[in-house]
Chains A and B, each alone.
Chain A
Amino acid sequence: MSYATERETTEGRVFTVTGGDWDELVSAVDPITEGRIVVNMGPQHPSTHGVLRIILELEGETVREARTVVGYLHTGIEKNLEYRNWVQGSTFVTRMDYLAPIFNETAYSLAVEKLLGIEEQITERATTIRVLMMELNRISSHLVWLATTGMELGALSMMLYGFREREYILDIFEMVTGLRMNHAYVRPGGVAQDVPDEAIVKIREFLAMMPKRLKEYEDLLSGQPIWLERTKNVAVLDVTACLAMGVTGPVLRSAGLAWDLRKTMPYCGYETYEFDVPTHSDGDVWGRYLVRLAEIRESMKLVEQALDRLRPGPVMVADRKIAWPAQLAIGVDGMGNSLEHVAKIMGQSMESLIHHFKLVTEGFRVPPGQVYVGIEAPRGELGVHAVSDGGTRPYRVHYREPSFVNLQALPAMAEGGLIADVIAGGASLDPVMGGCDR
């Protein structure tokens, strides 16, 4: 038995080493033809948008089964809400989906206002400011999506540009609310304080600057062969699958169904604004990219209209049993006090002091009952189911979080595809784990 066959080549004599039972051994363990391997992706993985864990069963590079594990960022916000008064709730819910805080607050405030039955009393200026802030927030959220997805699919420079423009919006937010994130700005009854004039100027600057920047993103990504390869026909989800899995938002619209709560079940006066609902027909990552880019443009239209509509007026309901002081000054450490209000309650009116004390420590009472309010957040339908037992604290608040619901569709996107497309598909859902796990 020879251990090395030999053959003559132009380079000289070549030996091929063989022997023993290595042939049989190698074919017996061939991972391509034999068995599957289980790969654990996450919860600490740079491409999983936070602490998302995916367990993949692979055959070679093909995903045969995918299971999603969530809950690593569960913070018990819904439970906590039950032990604070209704207004304090805003400071909790803003921390859920940390890329879309204004949406969390607005949905919560709309629900509380519906429970109180004061929707008609919300001032026009407060509603317009809410729309303005929500649309700016939608732009910033989509920019983060563009940035992180670009990074995950190999377009690293997109991350820098996306975060740069997002930072501009966060500067606007800081001017308006005092904080970059976790604003607690939209509150039951209105908003915490009026928009300062400098912020209006800055928003106008932003609107003037942004179209050119968007063009740059498109120049960077839209024609780029790698971007096209990584997104086209990847992680396809059609309308049927979306509805079965409860997927809403840009993912549903990228499959062709123009379902946008701002149009179909309007709130905050969206029916009076002029804007389009962008859709695409392919239902793939590429379609979701185009839809989100188009949505940034539509949001800019909305911001512009909201700016034009801003008329001077109060930003909090007139009912003093509900309204918190809303003429606050912004200090270096965020929202400060209303000096006028402090002077009044401390120096002039004992009754005002008592009223203020009761309103702030105990809060207002909300008549018993339950409501559900759904709004169109950057990731889809954000629903608030709020229950009151007639007290000063929420009896139960449940968030229908689009990140949570949409993530269920990840196995449907990933199974049968390549492992690299799990990243593209997962990113295209735009999950935010703070919102998903609450």
Chain B
Amino acid sequence: MPEDKKPGAANVPVPVTPAGASSTAPAEYPPASPAGRGMFGIQGTGDTSGFGGLVRPRSPIEESPRPYGGYFDEVRDALEEAYPGFNDAIEKVVVDRGELTLHVRAERIAEVCQVMRDDLALRFELCSSVSGVDYLGADARRLHVVYHLTSMTYRRMVRLEVAVSAEDPHVPSVTGVYPTADWQERETYDMFGVVFDGHPALTRILMPDDWEGHPQRKDYPLGGVPVEYKGAEIPPPDKRRSYQ
């Protein structure tokens, strides 16, 4: 037996970190590319009908005037009473299509959720959904995280929305308040690259662990990965010949 091949622990292979794996958020990927540039060399909107040349102005989301109607006023008043930092934390209150949206400052979201869950007049026990939206070009803080809370006691729903920029995409995790947000925050991180500080294990969940980039960002190139098959590499659709 060679000198270095001693039996026992020394012989056990030590796992190496797989290529591409990283314990922190990967570097910004892909590099900024023009929005709407897609598969098969499509330029512009990709409209195939020829009727899509209209430019739509995007109006900013405006604060709704009071009274909101329904239970919305009660929810706002209860939160204002129970949460001392209300004026600082709540940026906007919007009522649209019979739904109440509270735009919350990103760094306060966990606190607000705590109050929303625990206050007797609010009692939003269930965090139904956490999802992300990328408002590229419409909002400087383009990455939005949207929380839908359900109150089983009062049978109410409310939406909390936070906005962060792609350069500093940090949002406190609400897993301490709602453990169910665990996987949903991982999904939002996976798809949008929003980093939830304080999350117990913020890793990718739907995409492969070594994937680069966040596919649901609006500037993510479509079909941008080369496919290897039996040694030959097939280029991604946008790198193949152009059908124009």
Among A52-60, A161-169, A201-209, A383-391, which stretch is in contact with chain B?
Answer: A383-391
CA distance A387 to B138 in the complex (A): 14
Given contacts A265-B155, A385-B146, contact A243 B48 (CB under 8 A): no
Are A243 and B38 within 8 A (Cβ)?
no
Chain A residues, Cβ within 8 Å of B92: none
A19 contacts B by Cβ under 8 Å? no
- Shortest distance from the beta carbon of A256 to any chain B beta carbon, whole Å: 13
Are B99 and A245 within 8 A (Cβ)?
no
- Shortest distance from the beta carbon of B137 to any chain A beta carbon, whole Å: 10
CA distance A395 to B48 in the complex (A): 18
B46 and chain A: residue at smallest CB distance: A83
Chain A residues, Cβ within 8 Å of B159: 370, 372
B238 contacts A by Cβ under 8 Å? no
Are B178 and A369 within 8 A (Cβ)?
no
Chain A residues, Cβ within 8 Å of B178: 244, 246
B242 contacts A by Cβ under 8 Å? no
Chain A residues, Cβ within 8 Å of B146: 370, 385, 398
Q: Encode B42-67 as 1/0 by CB contact (under 8 A) with A.
A: 00001111011000101100000000
Chain A residues, Cβ within 8 Å of B208: 71
A186 contacts B by Cβ under 8 Å? no
Are B155 and A264 within 8 A (Cβ)?
yes
- Shortest distance from the beta carbon of B120 to any chain A beta carbon, whole Å: 16
Interface residues of A in 385-438 (CB under 8 A from B): 385, 387, 389-392, 395-396, 398, 400, 404-405, 407-408, 437-438
Are B128 and A74 within 8 A (Cβ)?
no
CA distance A372 to B147 in the complex (A): 10
Are B49 and A74 within 8 A (Cβ)?
no
Given contacts A79-B216, A115-B97, A361-B48, contact A246 B128 (CB under 8 A): yes
Q: Encode B200-237 as 1/0 by CB contact (under 8 A) with A.
A: 00001111100000011000001000000000000000
CA distance A103 to B95 in the complex (A): 27
A357 contacts B by Cβ under 8 Å? yes
A259 contacts B by Cβ under 8 Å? yes
Query: What does DSSP make chain A's interface, helix, strand, loop or mixed?
Result: mixed
A409 and chain B: residue at smallest CB distance: B180
Are B152 and A368 within 8 A (Cβ)?
no
Are A358 and B46 within 8 A (Cβ)?
no
B111 contacts A by Cβ under 8 Å? no
B157 contacts A by Cβ under 8 Å? yes
Report which of A114, A357, A407 forms a contact with B49, defined as CB distance below 8 A.
A357
A238 contacts B by Cβ under 8 Å? no
- Shortest distance from the beta carbon of A383 to any chain B beta carbon, whole Å: 5
B107 contacts A by Cβ under 8 Å? no
Report which of B138, B182, B191 forms a contact with A408, defined as CB distance below 8 A.
B182
Given contacts A405-B180, A408-B182, A437-B206, contact A362 B215 (CB under 8 A): no
Are B58 and A389 within 8 A (Cβ)?
yes
CA distance A371 to B48 in the complex (A): 28
CA distance A405 to B99 in the complex (A): 23
CA distance A404 to B58 in the complex (A): 33
Are A362 and B58 within 8 A (Cβ)?
no
Chain B residues, Cβ within 8 Å of A174: none
Are A362 and B49 within 8 A (Cβ)?
yes
A105 contacts B by Cβ under 8 Å? no
Are B206 and A71 within 8 A (Cβ)?
yes
Interface residues of A in 353-383 (CB under 8 A from B): 357-358, 361-362, 368-372, 374, 381, 383
Are A396 and B148 within 8 A (Cβ)?
no
CA distance A362 to B45 in the complex (A): 12
CA distance A257 to B59 in the complex (A): 43
A70 contacts B by Cβ under 8 Å? yes
A211 contacts B by Cβ under 8 Å? no
Interface residues of A in 106-124 (CB under 8 A from B): 114-115, 117
State the total of A-B contacts with C-beta under 8 angstroms.
120
Are A368 and B58 within 8 A (Cβ)?
yes
- Shortest distance from the beta carbon of A393 to any chain B beta carbon, whole Å: 9
Report which of B97, B131, B216 forms a contact with A114, defined as CB distance below 8 A.
B97
Given contacts A358-B51, A371-B99, contact A383 B205 (CB under 8 A): no
A398 and chain B: residue at smallest CB distance: B131
Report which of B51, B56, B129 forms a contact with A362, defined as CB distance below 8 A.
B51
Q: Encode B157-180 as 1/0 by CB contact (under 8 A) with A.
A: 101000000000000000000111
A78 contacts B by Cβ under 8 Å? yes
Are A408 and B129 within 8 A (Cβ)?
no
Q: Encode A54-75 as 1/0 by CB contact (under 8 A) with B.
A: 0000000000000000110010
Are B129 and A400 within 8 A (Cβ)?
yes
Are B182 and A70 within 8 A (Cβ)?
no
- Shortest distance from the beta carbon of A377 to any chain B beta carbon, whole Å: 13
CA distance A368 to B62 in the complex (A): 13
Given contacts A246-B127, A362-B49, A371-B97, contact A71 B58 (CB under 8 A): no
Report which of B52, B129, B182, B204 forms a contact with A385, defined as CB distance below 8 A.
B129
B183 contacts A by Cβ under 8 Å? yes
B138 and chain A: residue at smallest CB distance: A389
CA distance A383 to B126 in the complex (A): 13
A20 contacts B by Cβ under 8 Å? no
Chain B residues, Cβ within 8 Å of A383: 128-129, 148
Are B183 and A405 within 8 A (Cβ)?
yes
- Shortest distance from the beta carbon of B106 to any chain A beta carbon, whole Å: 18
CA distance A358 to B47 in the complex (A): 12
State the A residues within 8 Å of B (CB).
70-71, 74, 76, 78-79, 83, 114-115, 117, 243-248, 257, 259, 264-265, 357-358, 361-362, 368-372, 374, 381, 383, 385, 387, 389-392, 395-396, 398, 400, 404-405, 407-408, 437-438
Q: List 29 A-B contacts (CB under 8 A).
A: A83-B222, A243-B125, A244-B178, A245-B180, A246-B126, A246-B181, A248-B126, A257-B152, A259-B152, A264-B152, A264-B155, A265-B155, A265-B157, A357-B49, A361-B51, A369-B97, A370-B96, A370-B146, A372-B99, A372-B128, A374-B157, A381-B128, A385-B148, A389-B56, A396-B216, A398-B131, A408-B180, A408-B183, A437-B206
State the B residues within 8 Å of A (CB).
38, 46-49, 51-52, 56, 58-59, 96-99, 101, 125-129, 131-134, 138, 146, 148, 150, 152, 155, 157, 159, 178-184, 187, 191, 204-208, 215-216, 222
